[in-house]
Amino acid sequence: MAVIGASRTPGKIGHEILRNIINFGFKGNIYPVNPHVDEVLGLRCFPSMREVPDQVDLAIISVPSRAVARVVDECGASGVKAVAVISSGFREIGQADLEKEVVRRARRYGMRLLGPNIFGLVYTPSKLNASFGPLHVHPGKVAFITQSGAIGISLMSWTILEHVGLSAVVSVGNKADVDDADLLEFFADDPNSSVILIYMEGLTSGRRFMEAALKATAKKPVITIKAGRTKRGSMAAASHTGSMAGSDEVYRAAFRQTGVLLASSVEEAFDWAEALVADFELRGENLLIITNGGGAGVLAADASELLGLRLMGMSPNLRKKFRALMPYYGSVENPVDLTATADGDDYYGAIHAAMGSDEVDAVIAIYCQTPYTDPTLIASRMIKAMEGLRAEVRKPLVICGIGGVEVEKALRMLEEAGIPAFPTPERAVMAMAALFKYYEYREEVMRKTSEN
């Protein structure tokens, strides 16, 4: 890799990108390029790309926009395969011609170009953090493609907090060459990514996106946050990344047809990613809710019905299993109410009973904090129950924990164990609904494919 514009000054973008590449543990060779200095961050620095004595796969360009075209030429002449242009100052400020010229030069040498106007890219399987975002990213299987720097950077920090890991973060900026369709094609076949999440303001080629999305969603879930859906929002997008945000209706129809899940907020998108990245397989539509609080059960039942999820009826056999786990005043209807005295062993038993039953396809388990139960103990019993089941059972389990700091801790423990966990019944149900929606879509695709 090369970093062109590898500044000697801490705090400058080129310096910070180089520092992240080194400190995140990239194992390949790293070549800083800067004509004004011999060494940066302990690495020998080269005056130009032409002096770099190696074949460079990717050059990160962090020099002012007026110098980018020349640097791209140098990269091409030196056999660089691809460039990522961090620099702003192109189409987004009316300099579309300069942007076109830069792309034209890259193409002349057969190089692909990411950006311009980006914060960089991260690929955790290769221990590559070529961004000026935070150094630490929780590794995992969500690939994030983002047209917003701030949202990409905040997601990188959020992964540490929520234990939802990322395989990649790709800042696409103005998408002058590499766009969402290219990246969808790549991540659809990337074994290190199992969910693709996109923050998008506009598309350059809707048709190409739809073709790539159709192929990708047949293999793994694709979640999109589409910004610029209102008049003022689309005006803001135009000056942010120079994008044409387009008609909301058209985007909605395109996403629906191609099985792309459209999230209405960043929170929703992240929640869906958390649920969809867990290693689940949905086989039917029988949803069971387990709770220790009647009210929370009612809220979850409402949210389920409003989102079209079917709360299953209870067979005598299931009733009998749950009756044994609760006092006489508990309820064996759906939502199953274990009552407020339910402890870790009761949740262990309930999760076992539900997840182990052939009648049940998916489970939402709700815990409301009570003075006589320890949330972290409950979480550890839930995790234990799932550990015992995981070898054979891949049906979805989503947890909701309502309460204070201790519940927060319990939710983190669950997430760390790969179990999606949320602080409200509505968010847990919405995450489950995303799972249902994706699997229904995929089943439909598979049915149509087998018919043809």
Is 399 a binding residue for ligand COA by CB under 6 A? The answer is no
- Out of 31, 90, 119, 367, the residue judged to bind ligand COA by CB under 6 A: 119
Q: Are strands 166-171 and 120-123 parallel, antiparallel or unpaired?
A: antiparallel
Looking at beta carbons only, is 119 or 251 nearer to ligand COA? Answer: 119
Site string for ligand COA, 160-199 (x = CB under 6 A): -----------x----------------------------
Site string for ligand COA, 219-238 (x = CB under 6 A): --------------------
Torsion angles phi and psi, residue 112, rounded to 5:
-85, 150
In total, the chain counts a number of residues equal to: 452
Looking at beta carbons only, is 8 or 112 nearer to ligand COA? Answer: 8
DSSP 331: B
Least Å distance, CB 437 to ligand COA, is: 31
For residue 2, give the amino acid letter: A
Site for ligand COA in 38-97 (CB under 6 A): 62-64, 67, 71, 86-89
- Planar angle of CA 373, 415, 195, nearest 5 degrees: 150
- Name residue, tokens 């970093």: 3
Is 12 a binding residue for ligand COA by CB under 6 A? The answer is yes
CB 398 within 8 Å of CB 363: yes
Looking at beta carbons only, is 97 or 279 nearer to ligand COA? Answer: 97
Is 129 a binding residue for ligand COA by CB under 6 A? The answer is no
Could you give the CA distance from residue 441 to residue 401 in angstroms, rounded to a whole number? 29
Looking at beta carbons only, is 39 or 443 nearer to ligand COA? Answer: 39
Least Å distance, CB 49 to ligand COA, is: 8
Least Å distance, CB 16 to ligand COA, is: 9
Looking at beta carbons only, is 9 or 23 nearer to ligand COA? Answer: 9
- Out of 23, 37, 313, 327, the residue judged to bind ligand COA by CB under 6 A: 37
Least Å distance, CB 99 to ligand COA, is: 13
Q: How far is Cα of residue 445 from the mean position of the Cα atoms in its chain? A: 23
Torsion angles phi and psi, residue 200, rounded to 5:
-130, 140
At 196, is the secondary structure helix, strand, or coil?
strand
CB 277 within 8 Å of CB 164: yes
Half-sphere exposure of 331 (CA within 13 A, CB side): 16
Torsion angles phi and psi, residue 68, rounded to 5:
-65, -45
Site for ligand COA in 300-339 (CB under 6 A): none
Is 143 a binding residue for ligand COA by CB under 6 A? The answer is no
Cite the beta strand spans of 267-311 per DSSP E: 287-291
Total number of residues binding ligand COA (CB under 6 A)? 27
Could you give the CA distance from residue 366 to residue 291 in angstroms, rounded to a whole number? 5
Distances (CA, A) of 350 to 81, 122, 289, 421: 55, 41, 10, 17
Q: Is the peptide bond before 10 cis (omega within 30 degrees of 0)?
A: no
Looking at beta carbons only, is 93 or 324 nearer to ligand COA? Answer: 93
Least Å distance, CB 150 to ligand COA, is: 7
Could you give the CA distance from residue 397 to residue 275 in angstroms, rounded to a whole number? 9
For residue 88, give the amino acid letter: S
The secondary structure of 125-176, three-state, reads: HHCEEEECCCCCCCEEEEEEEECCHHHHHHHHHHHHHHCCCEEEEEECCCCC
Looking at beta carbons only, is 38 or 302 nearer to ligand COA? Answer: 38
Looking at beta carbons only, is 170 or 332 nearer to ligand COA? Answer: 170
Is 28 a binding residue for ligand COA by CB under 6 A? The answer is no
Least Å distance, CB 169 to ligand COA, is: 11
Looking at beta carbons only, is 171 or 217 nearer to ligand COA? Answer: 171
Point out which span in 32-40, 274-282, 310-318, 374-382 binds ligand COA (CB under 6 A). 32-40
Please name which of 428, 355, 357 lies closest in space to residue 387, comparing C-alpha atoms: 355
Least Å distance, CB 228 to ligand COA, is: 16
Point out which span in 12-20, 21-29, 181-189, 427-435 binds ligand COA (CB under 6 A). 12-20
Looking at beta carbons only, is 131 or 304 nearer to ligand COA? Answer: 131
Residues lying near ligand COA in the complex (CB under 6 A) are found at: 4-5, 7-9, 12-14, 33-37, 62-64, 67, 71, 86-89, 117-119, 149, 171
